[in-house]
Structure 1
């Protein structure tokens, strides 16, 4: 009886979300509170989105030498992505084939993958290399063991993985985005810092916060807010796999505009920032001189794990003041992140309130409307 009630409740929530998304943008509202607070809705997201979509796990440049690896969890599946001896980036299950311990944690470098539980160990291609004392078991055949492969692709310098063997290639899904940002040369931007955080909010609240710049003058009034003119922002309709908006302005930092040596960008593009939301969880601010990003992973309805990184365009890396630019960028982004954390955690407290209800969206929140329609479409499919 309880399971039936939960099923009915999540179906009603999906219907409410769909109904809201059927409104024209001129009458669009924010998503229903339950979309953020319902464990059953999160379970639906896991099965219809996280088990099927391509998800970013970081920059390819983080895997610079054979044996370099990073780890992630995709819809409950631990994954390791590494550079093998042939300098090929590959992804595999990060679970031992013996007693199913997780193998590797975080990031690092290994010559082989060794299970911390019983020391079964694997080559960088996933094949079982050694299993202590298993030679006494006549039914054991080392050659029959290999870590299951996970689909892995690199796009614009980013590593993406998916559990769906039938998902169209990343480059196909993001072909329109390739055209929009081609002249930035994002693949060549150099990551100069990387961190991981956990915030007390729903993953979609943080994603939506990134997607709109309507909040900049108020929430970021002590940092980037005074330099943010809402009338300079353009929010075109999004596409199936992403949404985006533009800000064209004279940057408050030299690295916000194109370096004098940058010959890729011309005219107004030399001072235009692109804010990219690649569904479901990859968020990138791409300026002519620097980039920063968030990659999100829900940990229940009220916690989100964040991969946070950023760096500079190659011209600024080659500049004699590169170290100063790196330090300035990191200091600014730390302050901005602290402001965003306060904001999105306050929203999560608010959506749990009995009297909370969706309000109308601003014209600057077009990306949020498109994101809601993406979610509605995904959670509705069988």
Structure 2
């Protein structure tokens, strides 16, 4: 049987699916075609666990965040009962949105006809509905999305039959156990509109090979591309380990207690598929929150996280600002790289390229992407 996707031949799929020493990149159509992106929404994004927030971002009862996730307006709410839920924020009456933005509320009152919902999504007030036969406020509740809290992250999945997230990430969790990800809080957030495919960002994040060209004065002197390595994976994730080229401890905040020296100095990039990106070093975690919107459009939020106890340190705001400036400077360098890749992917003469052994994480991701998008035996 053939394995095909729109605009992608069986031969192209086979070339990308070869062992790493022989493998090639995904073909340009995997990035630039809107019909391929539509299949990603159907086969990946609406069936996988997506990180929507940190628990500390909705720390108190009544705290909420609202966002749109692949066409579904949702809100993440810390209920008055202590539960954190992800639910639709579309009113059950005439489909207006009951809330926008973020804040703290005991009730979510639709601005259209004043139907009001509590923090569990239960309708508690529907004015002027007398005479509507069979209608009951108690029988109306905003649809709930499957939610799981993992290492302080609030994850959601639109597939009611999806396997739980935590068992899939057990080895990954063990790898970063000493960094205590669950203790982290968001202290700064950078936001970007990006005119390229989401996989371009994931691939750039997950290889150090580009340090020699894109970061020759920033990352490459500190984390040599040639020294980077990627462990084998046993689940839907990849880890890029970038050993430090020096013995110096990163400036700023003290490292998390219990880390070994190499864990303090070295830099780690990781992805939990499809696009849950974490950069980890010492006491700082950078969470790249990706919002794909089209084949060539995505939004990005880079959340800078540190242990919650550190926010009370003297001079913390200045340190956090400096970390934020450093992260922004590195991403500015990556923006140029992603722009030129995107231009090339859209060029008619562009074909698949050969992967370097240093791009093992890209190969792992591509293998997963192909298996998810075109399972063996699928005729396209």
TM-score of the two chains, using structure 1 as the length reference: 0.91
- Structure 1 residues 97-106 or 272-281, which shifts more? 97-106
The one-character-per-residue Cα deviations of 1:113-133 (angstroms, maximum 9, x if unpaired) are 122322221111111111222
Instruction: Confirm whether residue 254 of structure 1 aligns to residue 251 of structure 2.
Output: yes
How far apart in 1 are the matches of 2:12 and 2:79?
44
Give 2:135's aligned residue.
140
How far apart in 2 are the matches of 1:123 and 1:18?
49
Give 2:228's aligned residue.
233
Instruction: Confirm whether residue 309 of structure 1 aligns to residue 303 of structure 2.
Output: yes
How far apart in 1 are the matches of 2:48 and 2:80?
28
How far apart in 2 are the matches of 1:114 and 1:223?
49
Q: CA deviation at 1:48?
A: 0.6
Instruction: Confirm whether residue 111 of structure 1 aligns to residue 106 of structure 2.
Output: yes
The one-character-per-residue Cα deviations of 1:218-265 (angstroms, maximum 9, x if unpaired) are 212353343231233112233331101112214674148x53xx4311
Give 1:75's aligned residue.
70
How far apart in 1 are the matches of 2:57 and 2:11?
42
Change (3 A) 1:223 1:87: same
For residue 18 of structure 2, the aligned residue among 12, 19, 23 is: 23
Change (3 A) 1:372 1:313: same
Q: CA deviation at 1:87?
A: 1.8
Q: CA deviation at 1:11?
A: 4.5
Give 1:184's aligned residue.
179
Q: For the Cα contact (< 8 Å) 2:283–2:306, is it kept in 1?
A: yes
Give 2:285's aligned residue.
291
Give 2:266's aligned residue.
272
How far apart in 1 are the matches of 2:16 and 2:347?
23
SS at match of 2:338: helix
The one-character-per-residue Cα deviations of 1:149-203 (angstroms, maximum 9, x if unpaired) are 1111111111100011122221111111111111111111222112433211111
SS at match of 2:352: coil
Query: Which has the larger share of helix?
Result: 1
How far apart in 2 are the matches of 1:102 and 1:169?
29
How far apart in 2 are the matches of 1:313 and 1:140?
49
Give 2:164's aligned residue.
169
SS at match of 1:234: coil
SS at match of 1:177: helix
Work out the number of aligned pairs and report it.
Answer: 372
- Structure 1 residues 305-314 or 279-288, which shifts more? 305-314
TM-score of the two chains, using structure 2 as the length reference: 0.91
Give 1:362's aligned residue.
356
Two-structure CA RMSD over aligned residues (Å): 2.1
SS at match of 1:206: helix
Change (3 A) 1:339 1:171: same
How far apart in 1 are the matches of 2:209 and 2:75?
37
The one-character-per-residue Cα deviations of 1:262-315 (angstroms, maximum 9, x if unpaired) are 431124223222211111111000111211111212111111021221122457
The one-character-per-residue Cα deviations of 1:89-128 (angstroms, maximum 9, x if unpaired) are 1111121111112333232222211223222211111111
Change (3 A) 1:98 1:15: farther
Change (3 A) 1:281 1:102: farther
Structure 1 stretches lacking a partner, 5+ long: 1-7
Structure 2 stretches lacking a partner, 5+ long: none
Instruction: Confirm whether residue 34 of structure 1 aligns to residue 49 of structure 2.
Output: no
Runs of 4+ in structure 1 deviating by more than 4 angstroms, as ranges, are none
How far apart in 2 are the matches of 1:138 and 1:314?
52
